[in-house]
Amino acid sequence: MDGHMGMRKISSHCSIPDLDDSDLLRLLEKPKLNIERQRSFDERSLSELSIGLARAGLDNYDTYSPGGRSGFNTPASSTRNSFEPHPMVADAWESLRKSLVYFRGQPVGTIAAVDHQSEEVLNYDQVFVRDFVPSALAFLMNGEPEIVRNFLLKTLHLQGWEKRVDRFKLGEGVMPASFKVLHDPIRKTDTLIADFGESAIGRVAPVDSGFWWIILLRAYTKSTGDLSLAESPDCQKGMKLILTLCLSEGFDTFPTLLCADGCCMVDRRMGIYGYPIEIQALFFMALRCALSMLKQDDAEGKECVERIVKRLHALSYHMRSYFWLDFQQLNDIYRYKTEEYSHTAVNKFNVIPDSIPDWVFDFMPMRGGYFIGNVSPARMDFRWFALGNCVAILSSLATPEQSMAIMDLIESRWDELVGEMPLKISYPAIESHEWQIVTGCDPKNTRWSYHNGGSWPVLLWLVTAACIKTGRPQIARRAIELAESRLLKDGWPEYYDGKLGRYIGKQARKYQTWSIAGYLVAKMMLEDPSHLGMISLEEDKQMKPVIKRSSSWTC
C-alpha cells in the first residue's frame, strides 16, 4: 500500500510511493447501507492471504468467505490442487503469443482475434486499447513487462498525432481506439496506422481508451516498481491531456461525464448515451490512478491534482447517491412524487415511477444491490452492466457495503447474470419494439446476443478480481470452472448467445484474444491474490463517517 497523503501538504515532487491510493477517500462521503457484511479483501493483507493460501491449499480459501450460501459450496472438481496448471492454460498461452503484434522487431500489443475461419477481417486484426488490457495484465503477472511498456509508449506516441474526422479536429488528449502495423517486406519498413473513431463502425470516438491507458500505466508501475515511465515528461503530459478533456468546465450540472452512445466496450447503439455506468466507473478509477502518479513540481501539476480531488469528491457522492439501487431504494423510487421544484426536491431528476420496468421488481433481491446503467433527467436505466459494477468495486467507487451487496446480487441472480458461460455484459435484453427504438434495429444486437444480454468470457477477469477483493473467491472459482468446461472446446469465442449463454455467438469470432487473456488473468489472480494489487485501489479504512443512508434520495 502506498504512503499517506490525507489533506496534508504534499512535496513538490510526488512519486507513486509517496501517495496513498486510499487516503484521498477521507474526503469522500459514503452513504451508509443497513446491511452487515464480512470484512472485505481490502481489510486483510494481500501477502497474508497469499501465504495462507499457499500453506493451506486453495480449498481452505473458502474460510475467508461465507460458506454454503446459495449452493456455492466447493464443487467436487475443485478438490484438485488449483496450483496445478489446468490443461487449458498451456493452450491459452500459446494462442495469446500467436496474437502478438510486432513493430520494428518489438512486441507492441495483441490483435483482437486470430480467427482464420472468418472471411471478413474488418478491424479484428488491429490492436485495441481496451482489448489489450487483459493481455497486458497476463504478461505483467507472468513477469513479462516489456510488451506492456512498449504498448504504453506507442499509444502515447499516437496520442500526439493530429486527429481529424472529416473537417473536425478531435481533442488533443484523445487516445486511439486501435492501431495496426503495416509491414512493407520490400522496403523492410513498419508503419503505424491509428483509428481514433474516424474508421470505426458508427464513427464514435473511444472515451474509455484514455482511462484504460492511465489504469494500465499504474498497473505496470505497481507490478514492476519502475517509476521512471510514469514520471517521464511524456507520460506526465499524456495523463494531463486526457484529464484536461474530462475535467474541462461546461454547461453540465453533474460531475459525471457526458458522452455519446457506443463510446466504450458497448461500442454500438444500445441506449447508453448520457452518463453510462461503465464510463463513470472508469473515469473515477482513472482519476484515482492519475492522482497517485502525477507530479506536482510545477503550478500545472498542482492545479491538476486539486481539480482531480474536487472532482473525485463530487463524483463519488453523486454515483453512490443517485446511481445506487437496492430493495429500499427501489421502494423509495416507486413512491416518488413528481414535479418537485427547488433544491429541497427528493425526486431530483423528476423520474416518473410508472417508468420503472416490471422486471426490476422481481430481479431485485431483498439482500443485494447494484449501480444502475444510467441516470439523467426523467430517465433511469435500470439495466445491469457487469463491467461498470466490477470496476466500481475495484476502484472503491463502491463502498465496502455496496461492494458486498453487488456480490450478493450476483450470487442471488446467478442464472440471470452468469448462467452457463460467464458473464452477462448487460441484463436484461431489450426486444421487440423497444429493441427497434433503442438499437435502431441493429441485427447484431438482437435479444440475448452481443451487447444486448450476450455473455462475454473476457469479463471473467473483472468478476474474479471483484470476488477476491470482497473475499468471495468461491464465486470466481465457480465461474472459472464454467468457462473451462467449454471455452477451449468452442475455440475461445468472443461472446455467447441465449438467456443462459449456451450458444456460441452468431457472429462471434473464434480465438478472441481478450477471451483468452481474461481466462489467464482470472486463473493467475485466483492462484496468487497478490496480483490484485496492480488493478485494485483500496478504500480508506480509518474513516467510518456516520451518514444517513440515501440522504439524497429520501426525506
Can you give the pTM of this predicted structure? 0.85
- Determine the Cα–Cα distance for residues 46 and 443; give it in Å rounded to an integer: 45
Average confidence (pLDDT) over 463-470: 98
What pLDDT shows up at residue 341?
A: 87
Average confidence (pLDDT) over 530-541: 87
Average confidence (pLDDT) over 487-498: 98
Let me know if residue 462 belongs to a domain.
yes
Cis peptide leading into residue 353 (ω within 30°): no
Average confidence (pLDDT) over 181-192: 94
Let me know if residue 175 belongs to a domain.
yes
Let me know if residue 71 belongs to a domain.
no
* Least confident window among 148-162, 195-209, 223-237: 195-209
Q: Do residues 23 and 5 lie in contact, with contact meaning Cβ atoms separated by under 8 Å?
A: yes
Domain enclosing residue 248, as ranges? 84-534
In CATH, what number is assigned to the domain containing residue 329? 1.50.10.10
Counting every residue, how long is the chain?
555
Q: What is the mean pLDDT of the chain?
A: 85
Let me know if residue 545 belongs to a domain.
no
Let me know if residue 28 belongs to a domain.
no
What pLDDT shows up at residue 84?
A: 67
* Least confident window among 61-65, 134-138, 254-258, 429-433: 61-65
What pLDDT shows up at residue 342?
A: 85
- Determine the Cα–Cα distance for residues 108 and 149; give it in Å rounded to an integer: 8
pLDDT of 59 over the 60 cut: no
pLDDT tens-digit profile of 307-361?
999 999 999 999 999 999 999 999 999 998 898 888 888 888 899 999 999 999 9
Let me know if residue 152 belongs to a domain.
yes
* pLDDT tier, 69 (very low <50, low <70, confident <90, very high otherwise): very low
pLDDT of 370 over the 90 cut: yes
Let me know if residue 165 belongs to a domain.
yes
What pLDDT shows up at residue 119?
A: 67
Q: Do residues 209 and 221 lie in contact, with contact meaning Cβ atoms separated by under 8 Å?
A: no
Domain count, the chain: 1
C-alpha cell of residue 273? 448515451
Residue written as cell 503530459? Answer: 237
pLDDT of 107 over the 50 cut: yes
Q: Where are the alpha helices (DSSP H) in 34-86?
A: 46-56
Let me know if residue 44 belongs to a domain.
no
